[in-house]
């Protein structure tokens, strides 16, 4: 849309990372009953406005309009989780992009969108200062798996056990104990997580993620599909998973996001593993190969393997690219699923 070069895209991504982290540091939407993406509309308006080259007042108007377009309530993450949960950020981003384009066209938004009587600060709990300390981008956790961030360490811990687990008869397993910190339990260990009914629900379920990792030794897009979810073996193993809200792990969070898993099986010694961080944490970073594998997995839904390898190769030197049509091409096609 903006005709960016690779270098301009990288600068835009830097602005996007700084703003998204700054707003996440400032607001705590979930404690006020809103989805954690609630403020994304406002900062995506700023990101889009920056990329479009809007002036100061136009950026102000873009924020005002984005703030006036509504907040996402946390209903998407409560109780039965449907696939709309995977759309909450996208819906905010659409509003942000629309607001920036409208501001570019000369529209004005309502004033006092933050501090006013109906401003965001009234509805979203927040800290005292915004950007007083700039975000440290070196502390960002990159998710390795296509699942909720609070399931990442549990998946990695289960994968540590997979080589030994696959030697067992799954039917002989009597119990799988999973210890984790309180936030992981609140987000992915609810009663509904025991029997998720949608792809999004499965990606937000500790029992599902742990069972799938133990049984298959891999987590990918197909892991959370309806066909995989219908496996009697997976359903049976999920029923044997017992979650434990560990006070010591809760105290360690958010500096650490630990998980411990113990598998009990008849006629075998217990299997046990514990990790303090997920793969993708700055203290356990993803390798270049990990990043390429994850990217190739996403691209496999859109292009053939040869094209995927070519795109990945160009991404590593994207600052040298003068146009990005090749990057957008996979998204500019009609793709049908099912």
What pLDDT is stored for residue 301 in this prediction? 86
- Looking at residue 318, what is its pLDDT? 97
What's residue 103's pLDDT? 97
Could you give the domains of the chain?
6-139 (1.10.4100.10), 149-275 (3.30.1330.120), 288-331 (no CATH)
Own/partner long-range contacts of 264-268 (Cβ < 8 Å, ≥24 apart)? 264/173, 264/174, 264/175, 264/176, 264/177, 265/168, 265/169, 265/172, 265/173, 265/174, 266/172, 266/174, 267/172, 268/168, 268/172
Which pLDDT tens digits describe the chain residue by residue (338 residues)?
889 999 999 999 999 999 999 999 999 988 888 888 889 999 999 999 999 999 999 999 999 999 887 777 777 777 888 888 888 899 999 999 999 999 999 999 999 888 888 888 988 999 999 999 899 999 889 999 999 999 999 999 999 999 999 999 999 999 999 999 999 999 999 999 999 999 999 999 999 999 999 999 999 989 999 999 999 999 999 999 999 999 999 999 999 999 999 999 999 999 999 999 999 999 999 999 999 999 999 899 899 999 999 999 999 999 999 999 999 999 888 867 65
| Three-class secondary structure of residue 125 per DSSP | coil
**pLDDT recorded at residue 337:** 64
């Amino acid at each position: 849309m903006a005709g960016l070069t690779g270098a301009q895209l990288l600068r835009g991504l830097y602005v996007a990372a700084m703003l998204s982290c700054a707003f996440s540091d400032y607001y705590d939407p979930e404690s006020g009953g809103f989805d954690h993406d609630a403020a994304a509309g406002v900062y995506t308006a700023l990101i889009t406005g920056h990329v479009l080259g809007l002036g100061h007042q136009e950026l102000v108007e873009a924020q005002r309009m984005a703030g006036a377009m509504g907040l996402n309530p946390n209903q998407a993450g409560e109780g039965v989780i449907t696939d709309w949960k995977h759309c909450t950020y996208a819906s905010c981003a659409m509003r942000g992009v629309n607001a920036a384009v409208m501001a570019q066209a000369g529209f004005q938004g309502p004033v006092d969108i933050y501090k006013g009587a109906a401003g965001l600060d009234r509805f979203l709990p927040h800290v005292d200062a915004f950007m007083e300390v700039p975000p440290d981008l070196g502390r960002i956790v990159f998710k390795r798996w296509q699942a909720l961030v609070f399931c990442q360490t549990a998946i990695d811990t289960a994968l540590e056990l997979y080589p030994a687990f696959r030697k067992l008869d799954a039917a002989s397993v009597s119990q799988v104990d999973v210890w984790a910190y309180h936030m992981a339990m609140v987000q992915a260990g609810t009663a509904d997580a025991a029997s998720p009914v949608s792809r999004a629900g499965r990606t937000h379920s500790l029992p599902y993620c742990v069972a799938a990792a133990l049984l298959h030794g891999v987590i990918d897009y197909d892991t959370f599909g309806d066909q995989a979810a219908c496996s009697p073996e997976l359903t049976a193993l999920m029923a044997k998973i017992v979650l434990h809200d560990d006070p010591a792990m809760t105290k360690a969070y958010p500096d650490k996001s630990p998980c411990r898993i113990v598998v009990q099986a008849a006629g075998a010694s217990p299997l046990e593993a514990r990790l303090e961080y997920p793969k993708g944490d700055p203290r356990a970073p993803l390798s270049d190969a990990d990043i390429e594998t994850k990217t190739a997995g996403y691209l496999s839904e859109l292009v053939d393997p040869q094209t995927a390898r070519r795109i990945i190769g160009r991404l590593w030197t994207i600052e040298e690219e003068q146009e990005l049509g090749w990057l957008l091409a996979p998204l500019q096609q009609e793709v049908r699923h099912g």
